[in-house]
Amino acid sequence: MTNTPDILKKIIARKEQEIIECKNNISFDKMMKEAYDNRETRDFYQALKDKVDLKQNAIIAEIKKASPSKGVLRENFNPVEIAKSYEASGAACLSVLTDKDFFQGDNQYLIDVRKAVSLPVLRKEFIIDPYQVLEARVMGADCILLIAA
């Protein structure tokens, strides 16, 4: 990670610590069982394809409270209301940022949004460990964002 920007180094270091804490609370094996027990998914790809087939914009609408570079983006942040608004406006899918320390996200935002709307939901997170993939499934994510570097 010699050419990695400082903020990304900080985020990854925090994620490594976060994962250790999570694994101490719920073991990998238990998380795996919960992920497999939680099989109901919404088809992310099909939701996008349906919009394209109808010659409509296939929008993945993002729910994000803050960013390290811009700070708080929305003071009166209500992820469920935002999700409902995006759904009513024709979004195909939703992306929910769950990183707490750098984006003021929360896993509970994804859980609440998933319950409130019928759209497929993507967990936008810094995924560096297979445990987080299982965790995403357990909280109800239909999709995750992976960026390889």
Q: Is residue 120 part of a domain?
A: yes
Of the candidates 37, 30, 51, the one whose C-alpha atom is nearest the C-alpha of residue 120 is: 51
64: in domain: yes
In percent, the amount of the chain with pLDDT more than 70 equals: 96
Predicted local distance difference test score (pLDDT) of residue 2: 55
pLDDT tens digits along 24-36: 999 999 999 999 9
* Strand positions, DSSP E, the chain: 60-63, 66-67, 71-72, 93-97, 121-124, 143-144
Instruction: Please indicate, yes or no, if residue 1 is contained in any of the structural domains.
Output: no
Number of structural domains in the chain: 1
Averaged pLDDT of the chain: 94
pTM exceeds 0.75: yes
What per-residue confidence (pLDDT) applies to 147? 78
Does residue 15 lie within any of the structural domains? yes
- Within its chain, how far is the Cα of 31 from the centroid? 17
CATH number at residue 105: 3.20.20.70
- Give dist(CA 51, CA 58) in Å, integer: 5
Q: Which domain holds residue 41?
A: 6-144
Q: Which pLDDT does position 4 carry in this prediction? A: 59
Structural domain contains residue 69: yes
